[in-house]
Chain A
Amino acid sequence: MTPILEMRGITKTFPGVKALDEVSFQVQPGEIHALVGENGAGKSTLMKVLSGVYPHGSFEGEILYEGQPVEFAGIHDSERRGIIIIHQELALVPLLSIAENIFLGNECASRGVLNWRETFSRTEKLLKKVGLSEAPGTLVDKIGVGKQQLVEIAKALSKDVKLLILDEPTAALQENDSRKLLDLMLELKAQGVTSIIISHKLNEVRQVADTVTVIRDGRTITTRDAKAGLSEAEIVRHMVGRDMSHRYPIRERRAGDLLMEVDGWNVWHPDHAGRQVIRDISFNVREGEVVGIAGLMGSGRTELAMSIFGRSWGRNISGGVRLRGKPLDVGAVDRAIAAGLAYVTEDRKALGLILDESVKFNTSLARLEAVASRGVLDDLRDIEVAERYRNALGTRTPSVSQKVGNLSGGNQQKVVLAKWLFTEPEVLMLDEPTRGIDVGAKYEIYSIINDLSAQGKGVVMISSEMPELLGMCDRIYVMSEGAIVGELPIAEASQERIMSLIVTE
């Protein structure tokens, strides 16, 4: 069988970085092909080369599609041939409706006049296909990242797709949503659509992929048949270049005195006055403890953390926060930081980073006093700090003066983490901290969490990946619809128990 896609000797360089080095890559028609590798290995870049985001001539090597050489000058050319890419960083217009987003650039119109009825009815059909029940007129910024991902896929389906490229489609998704998405991929496969999926969730890769290609440091390491008993451990070994026997570093569990207590926390929605988002929540963290918060998307976990962190979300907030028994003033973000809180956002692009600025700029942003004296910045101290965290987290960047926007997704996440670690918090609240992070780097991040807890700090970990919560936490709170519906010591926690607590509520 001739491959539907063959990329030969692809080399792509950016100033100071060779992102791809003679990469070869073959995809057979009708298969689901997984592309895996560490953060910054070059996966997204390879797919951008394929889809014309980086036009012909801006890289070396050749691309054969359906047996013929192709030279895409832009994403339009590749879309015309049925290659649709869904980027790692979502590209929806927040203030347009779902329907408008789906048909953006591809509008149902006759002679320039939009046909709204057709737009809406086709949108409804597409939404049903991807398992969304939202009204087509809903504004995209009113739905969460997970649903936005599904809208992106609906958008791809609205075009005549032959080769679908999904760059970390499930990174922001809950497990059941992920499963829906993966089922959708299998369904599309049955209809003859070829897919390429990039993912750091290797269990999903094993579920759906027919073939796996591993790339490392911009080179193809191996291409393997996934159906012939390829184990996760083996993939990991190819990815990181060594054996990784444990996914979670060993933790010494020793919870000390009460560190942070939150009492009777209530929060209302900032836009809808009558909607209470957090209902009477109380929880605590002990010194040296890692406390997990489990729950479905939209259960209010992010809202809880953000409202505690300097009231950065919601209104009519009431309740008390105490640190070592003393009431804390968390009325504004700077005071919350000064009091020893830190919050690592789940949305690094919108809330975590200044993308046009450097790694260095972003690393010290939340604690500039520490790299300045009397208000004057000391550039060398600034660089020193950025370098320290770059090494500690293994952030891949040609230098700390590189623009953060030019880093790979996982490496951007590490910069957000560095920023908050540098504030040396007493209580670190992590919201989906390992989203988009490769297995090796996850291990490093878990180790850092363990170090913090060994120093007697408290960690609150919000995560949609239950294995991660079970592997890392000492205690897990379960949230549902803005309230805490259960608290499980780790010895009693299991995926099933957490789910049953959520469901019975």
Chain B
Amino acid sequence: MEIQAPGQVQATRGVRTYLRSHMRDYGLLFALIAIIAFFQFMTDGTLMRPVNITNLFLQNSYIIIMALGMLIVIVAGHIDLSVGSVMGFVGAFAAVAIVNWHLPVVLTVLASLMMGALIGAAQGYWVAYWKIPSFIVTLAGMLVFRGMSLWLLQGQSVGPFPQIFQRLSTGFVPDIFSEGLSKSLAAMAGSFNFNVLTMVVGLLVAALGIWMGLRARARNRAYGIEGEPAAFFWGRNLVVLGAFLFLMFKLATFRGLPNVLVTMGVLIVIYAFVTENTVIGRRIYALGGNTKAAKLSGIKTERLTFLSFVNMGVLAALAGLIFAARLNTATPKAGYGLELDVIAAVFIGGASMAGGSGKIMGAVVGAFIMGVMNNGMSIMGIGIDYQQVIKGLVLLAAVIFDVYNKQKQG
């Protein structure tokens, strides 16, 4: 078959048009960098101290993990208000199972994830098959599971957990390289410790990123598809990977890779891949974009909606476990109001309320923006009152920017 090179038509589109149509992606990234730089300056460098970076990841891991599921739910055209409560409930369940019932940790973790799936299924069932608005179903779920965690914990905090469970959150990946190497690098970096594994993993990931990017570009060029202009490609990689390596270096000079960071990183990669490169991912976008048309194209829209809620439930459960492990106790207040942070992260990340659009990386960056602001404002000693106002305004600004952008593109 003959394929006419579309490059000819596209050649007229310059760097400017490219930038304009990708304003959102770059804008978000630069916003994050600007926010980091701002707080780095305002906190006299406390923000980027290794211990604080480690904390940032620990504090935000559960938001990010839930944002992955929330993005899918929102792309599918729904919303899940219950995730905070579900997260708290599953944490409570795990605490009761381990501390009161003395169940083995591994079994508890599996049972908790199953519990999350069941909760997601219970809510998704009504949304998908009975067409009850998700706002209402999950609002009910929010109340129900908040009440159930209170009941389960009898209003008390339950803890502490055995160490193996805590490691889920506060553990670090052990260094596999020799101590001698670590010592000499620590001396060079002028730090007390140097985790070689962290740096090696960082470098490998960065190299892999560049290699995959180059391969995709080469393939595109072979087919005459005009992608990102070269200057943008290198500029973006320089900034993103530079920042990434910088973070890894900082982590290495502290205690290395937190376990949650690994979990989170793996999940982000998987979800980004599934949403952008698989059949099921594309179907979810179609479902959110136009349910009727998707259905007439043979997509099982009900099942897909149902599954997106099941997935959300599992991720909320995982977040609940990580949260409980970090605090080393389950409290009746755990997860209170967190659904709002998660939803805000997804919308800051560029998803649309109407469904059908939004990206995993957007949601992740959105979550980091929220996280860095929380953390930075806390370090600066800004009161919780102002923090809320500022976060609210940032969310509004991000969405206005989106709408404005869309209008300009026509």
Contacts and interface: CB of A to CB of B under 8 A. Distances in A.
Contact of A334 (B282, B285, B299): B299
B296 A343 contact: yes
B388 interface: no
B218 to A, nearest CB: 12
A388 B292 contact: no
A334 B300 contact: yes
Interface in B271-310: 277-283, 285-286, 289-290, 292-300
A22 interface: no
B389 interface: no
Given A15-B17, A333-B295, 14 more contacts: A15-B13, A16-B10, A16-B13, A309-B296, A336-B298, A351-B293, A352-B296, A354-B293, A355-B289, A355-B290, A361-B286, A365-B294, A376-B277, A387-B3
Contacts of A312: 295-296
B323 to A, nearest CB: 32
Given A333-B298, A369-B279, A399-B6, A352 B357 contact: no
Nearest to A348: B293
B17 A357 contact: no
B289 A400 contact: no
A54 B409 CA distance: 12
A369 B298 CA distance: 12
Interface residues of A, number: 44
B12 A345 contact: no
A245 B189 CA distance: 82
Contacts of B278: 372, 375-377
B1 interface: yes
Interface in A296-315: 309-310, 312
Interface string A70-103: 0000000000000000000000000000000000
B296 A375 contact: no
A172 to B, nearest CB: 18
Contacts of A203: none
A128 to B, nearest CB: 33
Contacts of A332: 300
19 contacts: A15-B20, A16-B12, A16-B13, A54-B410, A343-B296, A350-B293, A351-B292, A351-B293, A351-B296, A352-B293, A354-B286, A354-B289, A354-B294, A357-B356, A375-B280, A380-B219, A387-B6, A398-B9, A398-B10
Nearest to B285: A357
Q: Shortest 10 CB-CB distances between A and B: which pairs?
A: A354-B289, A334-B298, A366-B297, A337-B298, A368-B279, A333-B298, A365-B297, A354-B290, A399-B6, A387-B3
Contact of B297 (A15, A333, A376): A333
Contacts of A334: 298-300
Contact of A356 (B277, B283, B356): B356
A365 B409 CA distance: 25
Given A377-B277, A387-B6, A368 B283 contact: yes
Contacts of A337: 298
Contacts of B4: 387, 391
A349 to B, nearest CB: 9
A356 B289 contact: yes
Interface string A248-284: 0000000000000000000000000000000000000
A281 to B, nearest CB: 21
Interface string A133-174: 000000000000000000000000000000000000000000
Contacts of B357: 356
B1 A384 contact: yes
B284 to A, nearest CB: 12
Contacts of B111: none
B234 interface: no
A334 to B, nearest CB: 4
Nearest to A343: B296
Instruction: Please indicate which of the listed interface residues A361, A365, A369, A379 has the most CB atoms of chain B within 10 Å of its own CB.
Output: A365
B2 interface: yes
Nearest to A420: B297
B6 A377 contact: no
B282 A380 contact: no
Given A361-B282, A377-B278, A388-B1, A383 B225 contact: yes
B239 to A, nearest CB: 25
B21 interface: yes
B232 interface: no
A368 B286 CA distance: 12
A377 B282 contact: yes
Interface string A311-324: 01000000000000
Contacts of B283: 368
Contacts of A384: 1, 3
A354 B356 contact: yes
A380 B223 contact: yes
Given A333-B296, A351-B296, A361-B282, A383 B223 contact: yes
Contacts of B1: 384, 388
Contacts of A361: 282, 285-286
A363 B182 CA distance: 55
Instruction: Please indicate which of the listed interface residues B9, B277, B298 has the most CB atoms of chain A within 10 Å of its own CB.
Output: B298
A400 B4 CA distance: 11
A361 B294 CA distance: 12
Interface in B18-34: 20-21
Interface string A391-428: 10000001110000010000000000001000000000
Contacts of A338: 298
A365 B280 CA distance: 11
A365 B299 CA distance: 9
A365 B223 contact: no
B73 to A, nearest CB: 18
Contact of A388 (B3, B282, B296): B3
A419 B20 contact: no
Nearest to B283: A368
B66 to A, nearest CB: 25
Contacts of A375: 278-280
Contacts of A399: 6, 9-10
A40 to B, nearest CB: 13
Contacts of B280: 375
Nearest to B273: A376
Interface in A25-80: 54
A324 to B, nearest CB: 21
A393 B357 CA distance: 28
Contact of B21 (A15, A353, A357, A368): A15
Contacts of B20: 15
B162 to A, nearest CB: 39
Nearest to B289: A354
Interface in B89-121: none
Contacts of B21: 15
Contact of A366 (B10, B13, B298, B356): B298
A352 B21 CA distance: 25
A309 to B, nearest CB: 8
A356 B9 CA distance: 21
Contacts of B281: 377
A13 to B, nearest CB: 10
Nearest to B406: A356
Given A15-B17, A354-B289, A419 B279 contact: no
A400 B296 CA distance: 22
A312 B294 CA distance: 12
Instruction: Please indicate which of the listed interface residues A333, A391, A419 has the most CB atoms of chain B within 10 Å of its own CB.
Output: A333
A357 B278 CA distance: 16
A424 to B, nearest CB: 14
A448 to B, nearest CB: 15
A16 B294 CA distance: 28
B290 A15 contact: no
Nearest to B297: A366
Nearest to A366: B297
